[in-house]
Structure 1
Amino acid sequence: MRTISGLWRWRHNPLRRTSDLVEAWLALVVLLLILVAAPVIGSFVGNIAQDALQQSVRDQRAARHLVTATVVRKLDRSPLDTDPETSSARDLRSRVVADWTAPDGSGHHGAAMAELKSPHRGDHFAIWTDLHGRIVARPLDPATATTHAVLAGFGAAMLTAGALETGRRLIVWRMTRRRYARWDQAWDKAGPDWGRTGTGS
């Protein structure tokens, strides 16, 4: 709104310079681009990210399998968990040695993280593995993928708006420098006697 009122003010102002009008039009064009182009680019990037992430969710769901493991024995606390006072989701997980059968039928034995607070021999818990029984991370959740896509779209829109405003400021800075250079040339032409009686000024 301020840009539009600025354009109207410069329209019939006798003190208006060409650079003032260019500056006002530039501000209006950039404002319109921010209001139109930034959301369009954000939506485009968000849709691309959504498609890619949801495809990743489907691929991970197809490649990762939830299997049941059996506790053989509990392992000592991880050396990374140095602070016993920390309260987090890790407190509900324990390191254990377990046995499990892979989706391809092969048997496996090794260390795993069990979502059991006090695991005992023979307790069962679920782990994610690949087809051959190697432990893998939980597959990406569709809702989490959507959240990431929305954030990617919002980030793209903000970057577009920032780039447009940075470009506008750079152009205005260049125009201001040029204006100052012209003023310096005008002062140099006027000479040191400007304003004195009899110098024709």
Structure 2
Amino acid sequence: MRAISGLWQWRHNPLRRATDLAEAWVALAALLLVLVVAPLAGAVVGGLAQDSLQESVRSQRASRHPVTATVTRELDRSPLDADPETSTGRELRTRVLADWTAPDGTPRHGPVLAGLKDPHKGDHFTIWTDTQGHIMPRPLDSATATTHAVLAGVGAALLGIGLIESARRLIVWRMVRRRYARWDQAWARVGPDWGRAGTGS
């Protein structure tokens, strides 16, 4: 709005300098870019991120399988950090020794993190494995992927706004420096004669 009011203000003003009008046009152009280009860039980046992340979701769902594991014994009592890809993010994980069967039918045995508060021998819990039964992280879910894509789009839009505003400030700064340089040159020509009798007549 300031850019539009600046252009209107300088339309017929007799004190208007060419640089004043140029600064108002630069501000208007920056405003239009912020309103059109930045959201468009955010939408494009968000769309590309959404496509890529949803492809990762499909790939992970195809290659990772939920398998029921059985606790053979607890390895330690200290709960470890929650799995960062779980939906709640608050689930305590305890390290246990467990048996499970891979999707290809191979029996497996080893240490895993169980989502059990107080695991006992024979308790069952779900783990994620590949086809051969190797432990894998939980696959990315569609809602989380969409959230990441939206954040990527918003970040791209904000970055675009920052770049546009930085460019506007740089252009205006250079215009002001050029104006001051011209003033210095004009003062250098007039300054030595300032106040001397008979000058300017």
TM-score, normalized by the shorter chain, greater than 0.5: yes
Equivalent residue, structure 2, for 1:31:
31
The number of residues matched between the two structures is 194
Q: Deviations over 1:120-159 (max 9, x none)?
A: 1111110001111111100001000000000001111111
Measure how far apart 1:80 and its partner are: 6.9
Q: Distance in 2 between the 1:70 and 1:195 partners? A: 100
Q: Which stretches of structure 1, 4 residues or longer, exceed 4 Å deviation after superposition? A: 78-81
Measure how far apart 1:199 and its partner are: 2.3
Equivalent residue, structure 1, for 2:75:
75
| Unpaired runs of at least 5, structure 1 | 82-87
Equivalent residue, structure 2, for 1:48:
48
Equivalent residue, structure 2, for 1:133:
133
**Aligned AA (2:165):** E
Q: Deviations over 1:34-90 (max 9, x none)?
A: 001111111111111111100100000000000000101001145978xxxxxx835
Q: Distance in 2 between the 1:172 and 1:38 partners? A: 20
Equivalent residue, structure 1, for 2:64:
64
Q: Distance in 2 between the 1:112 and 1:140 partners? A: 19
Identity among equivalent pairs (%):
71
Q: In structure 2, do the counterparts of structure 1 residues 80 and 74 end up closer, same or farther at CA, with 3 Å as the change threshold?
A: closer
3-state SS of paired residue (1:191): helix
Measure how far apart 1:174 and its partner are: 0.6
Q: Distance in 1 between the 2:106 and 2:76 partners? A: 27
Q: Distance in 2 between the 1:183 and 1:52 partners? A: 55
Q: Distance in 2 between the 1:186 and 1:170 partners? A: 24
Q: Distance in 2 between the 1:197 and 1:5 partners? A: 44
Q: Distance in 1 between the 2:171 and 2:108 partners? A: 65
Q: Distance in 2 between the 1:97 and 1:111 partners? A: 4
**Aligned AA (1:189):** R
TM-score normalised per structure 2: 0.91
Q: Distance in 1 between the 2:79 and 2:196 partners? A: 85
Measure how far apart 1:11 and its partner are: 1.0
Say yes or no: does 1:19 pair with 2:19. Answer: yes
Equivalent residue, structure 2, for 1:99:
99
Equivalent residue, structure 2, for 1:84:
none
TM-score normalised per structure 1: 0.91
The answer as to whether partners of 2:10 and 2:21 remain within 8 angstroms in 1 is yes
| Unpaired runs of at least 5, structure 2 | 82-88
